[in-house]
Structure 1
Amino acid sequence: MAVYILSNRKIIRHKGEKIDSFSNDEYSIPNFRIAKCDFDNYKEPTAAAKKKKDYTNRNILNYKLFSEPEKQGYQDVFNVLLNEKGIKKSTLTANNLGGTQKMFYELYKNMSSTKDRSDVLIFIHGYAYDFDDELKAIIDLKKIFIDNSSSPIEHILFISWPASSSIVPLTYFDDKASSINSGASLMRLFYFYTQFLKDIFSNRDLAPCNQRIHIMAHSMGNRVLQSMLYSLKKENILRVIDQVLLLNSDVSYKVFDESENSFNKLPLLANRVSIYLNRKDAILGISQFTKNILTPRLGKNGPSNIDQFKDIVSIIDCTFIENDILNSFKFEFGNHWGYLSSSQAQNDIFQNLYGVDRNLITNRTKNNENTFTIIS
């Protein structure tokens, strides 16, 4: 099990500390830095601990930033792997690797060492998250997707982008700008990943791990994904993702149109795309009527036209799910966080991640060829 933070947040060093940390500042740097979360010594905080002013950063969850790589490319990774297999001698060890080299090395080692499902979930969070909020979200995601035997996920790559810490309406536009910048950084990371895969597949001594990688984007996290897709050229896209799950997406309902040139690329990238929507989503309703010039949101209204993608893209209506896990006013009124608040939504997501045929996923009714409603 491993959980990584991939962040383009500012790097700071707190007073009296000797290690670098991610900042809560609403400021992005051009490239992602990578950190690995330490759950070995994690203890669930008490209510009193959560109220303390020092319940921030590493007091929430400890993590260690990877060093930057000594040189670009992945030849050093292969030298280390081949040396460990006794195929090619090298003085390099895993300690010489940094950044994406170290993360890809660790994931490949873990995912190729088991015959069981050892999937990776790339998660992109939404609007109004500071870094402390992100650390709390990581803890929740680990409980839902790694600790749960109903889920095939064993590793999480949490995309940390510097959203605003306030829900004041004007910060929404700051987050839109930040999501665009972060999408460009994510695009570079995607190219690193595809290059690593090409190198692995071209090396006969290194077998593919045969595990699956999924992307899950919530709310405005879909705008980060959209920004990445804008930058990707269709001829450079490889189908390296199994499932893409778009949760309560705060993007235009027209994103799959050819003129948008963004989500219409997802069917080239993934085996299956699932749009989870809630027609009672009050947060997206506010987004539509106050911030997006009355443009219907994908996560509330569904896509305008996906006829050409109906074999790959599914629409899952979560309007009638129950918030039986979390049912505070925020969740009951907002209807925006079903993946956290509803066991029905989670059960549907788990089956999707396992790759169950969309017509065989339980507790659904089929509305038409590619549209379903989750039922009690």
Structure 2
Amino acid sequence: MSVYILSNRKIIRHKGERADSFSNDEYSIPNFRIAKCDFDDYKEPTAQSKKRKDYTNRNILNYQLFSEPEKQGYENVMEVLLSEKGIKESTLTASNLGGTQRMFYELYKNMSSTKERSDVLIFIHGYAYDFDDELQAIIDLKKLFIDRPESPVEHILFVSWPASSSIVPLTYFDDKASSINSGTSLLRLFYFYTQFLKDIFSNRQLVPCNQRIHIMAHSMGNRVLQSMLYSLKRENILRVIDQVILLNADVSYKVFEESEDSFNKLPLLANRISVYLNRQDAILGISQFTKNILTPRLGKNGPSDISQLKDIVSVIDCTFVKDDLLNSFKFEAGNHWGYLSSSQVQSDIFQNLYGIDRNLITNRIANNENIFTIIS
């Protein structure tokens, strides 16, 4: 099990201490830095500890930033892997690897060491998260997707982008701009990943692990994904993702149309795309009527036209699910966090991640060949 933070947040340098930290500032840097979360000494906080002013950053969840790589590219990763197999002599070890080199190395090693499902989930959060909120979200996601036996996920890559810490409506536009910048950073990371695959598997001694990688984006996190897709050249796309799950997506309902040139690229990237929507989503209703010039939102209204993509894209209507896990006013009135608040939505997502045929997933009814409604 491993959980990584991929963040383009500002880095705080601590005098007299070895460990740098991510900042809560609403400011993005051009490149993602990578950190690994440490759950070894994690303890559930008490209500009293949460009230303390020092319950921030590493007091929520410990993590360690990876160093920057000594050398660009993935030749060193290949050398370390071949050395560990006894195929090539080298003085290099994993400690010489930094950044994406270290993360990809660790994931490849862990995912290759088992024949069981050891999937990776790339999660992109939504609007109004500061870094402390993100750390708490990581804890919740680990409980949901790693600790639960119904889920095939064993590793999480949490995409941390500097959303505003306030839910004041004007900050929405700051987050909108930040999500676009973060999408550009995510594109760079995608190219690093495809380069890693090409470099490593060009050597016949290193074989694919045959595990699966999924992308899940919630709310405005879909705009980060959209920004990446805008800039992604079709000729550079490799189908390296199994499932893409779009939760309550705060993007236009036209994103799959050719004129948008963004989400219509997803079928080149992934085996299956699932759009989870709630027609009573109050958060997306506010987004539509106050911030997006009456443009219907994908996560509330569904896609405008996916007739050309119906074999790959599914729409799952969660309007009638029960909030049986989290039922505070925020969740019941918002109808925006079904993946956290509803066991029905979670069960549907788990079956999706396992790759069960969309017509065989339980507690669904088919409205037509690619549109479904979750029922009690």
Q: TM-score range by the shorter chain?
A: over 0.9
- 3-state SS of paired residue (1:285): helix
Q: Is the 8 A contact 1:6 1:32 kept in 2?
A: yes
Q: Is the 8 A contact 1:128 1:166 kept in 2?
A: yes
Q: Does 1:93 align with 2:85?
A: no
- 3-state SS of paired residue (1:198): helix
Q: Is the 8 A contact 2:241 2:271 kept in 1?
A: yes
Following superposition, the deviation at residue 19 of structure 1 comes to 1.6
Following superposition, the deviation at residue 234 of structure 1 comes to 0.5
Percent of aligned pairs with the same amino acid = 86
1:226 match: 226
The one-letter code of the counterpart of 1:247 is: L
Q: Does 1:280 align with 2:280?
A: yes
1:366 match: 366
2:290 match: 290
Following superposition, the deviation at residue 200 of structure 1 comes to 2.5
2:37 match: 37
Following superposition, the deviation at residue 13 of structure 1 comes to 2.7
Q: Is the 8 A contact 1:229 1:263 kept in 2?
A: yes
Q: Residues 323-342 of structure 1 correspond to what in structure 2 (within 5 A)?
A: 323-342=323-342
- 3-state SS of paired residue (1:368): coil
Q: Does 1:216 align with 2:225?
A: no
1:241 match: 241
Following superposition, the deviation at residue 54 of structure 1 comes to 0.4
Whole-angstrom CA distance in 1 between matches of 2:270 and 2:161? 23
Whole-angstrom CA distance in 2 between matches of 1:250 and 1:80? 42
Q: Can you list the C-alpha shifts for 1:267-297, whole angstroms capped at 9, x where unaligned?
A: 0000000000000000000000000000000
Q: Can you list the C-alpha shifts for 1:314-344, whole angstroms capped at 9, x where unaligned?
A: 0000000100000000000000000000000
Count of matched residue pairs: 376
Following superposition, the deviation at residue 201 of structure 1 comes to 2.4
The one-letter code of the counterpart of 1:83 is: S
The one-letter code of the counterpart of 2:337 is: W
1:139 match: 139
Greater CA deviation, 190-199 or 8-17? 8-17
Whole-angstrom CA distance in 2 between matches of 1:321 and 1:215? 23
1:75 match: 75
2:7 match: 7
Q: Residues 167-316 of structure 1 correspond to what in structure 2 (within 5 A)?
A: 167-316=167-316
Whole-angstrom CA distance in 2 between matches of 1:16 and 1:176? 37
Whole-angstrom CA distance in 2 between matches of 1:145 and 1:82? 32
Structure 2, unpaired ranges of 5+: none
Q: Is the 8 A contact 1:214 1:243 kept in 2?
A: yes
2:148 match: 148
Whole-angstrom CA distance in 1 between matches of 2:238 and 2:350? 24
The one-letter code of the counterpart of 1:333 is: A
Q: Is the 8 A contact 1:200 1:208 kept in 2?
A: no
Provide TM-score, normalisation by structure 2. 0.99
Whole-angstrom CA distance in 2 between matches of 1:197 and 1:265? 20
Whole-angstrom CA distance in 2 between matches of 1:32 and 1:364? 39
Q: Is the 8 A contact 1:317 1:373 kept in 2?
A: yes
Whole-angstrom CA distance in 2 between matches of 1:320 and 1:131? 32
Whole-angstrom CA distance in 2 between matches of 1:309 and 1:204? 35
The one-letter code of the counterpart of 1:248 is: N
The one-letter code of the counterpart of 1:11 is: I
Q: Residues 38-53 of structure 1 correspond to what in structure 2 (within 5 A)?
A: 38-53=38-53
- 3-state SS of paired residue (2:170): helix
- Cα RMSD for the two superposed structures: 0.7
The one-letter code of the counterpart of 2:265 is: K
Q: Can you list the C-alpha shifts for 1:152-206, whole angstroms capped at 9, x where unaligned?
A: 0000000000000000011000000000000000000000001111222221000
Q: Can you list the C-alpha shifts for 1:54-99, whole angstroms capped at 9, x where unaligned?
A: 0000000000000000010000000000000000111100000000
- 3-state SS of paired residue (1:148): coil
1:106 match: 106
Q: Is the 8 A contact 1:123 1:156 kept in 2?
A: yes
Whole-angstrom CA distance in 2 between matches of 1:216 and 1:19? 30
Whole-angstrom CA distance in 1 between matches of 2:276 and 2:184? 25
Q: Is the 8 A contact 2:74 2:200 kept in 1?
A: no
Structure 1, unpaired ranges of 5+: none
Following superposition, the deviation at residue 14 of structure 1 comes to 4.5
Q: Is the 8 A contact 1:118 1:152 kept in 2?
A: yes
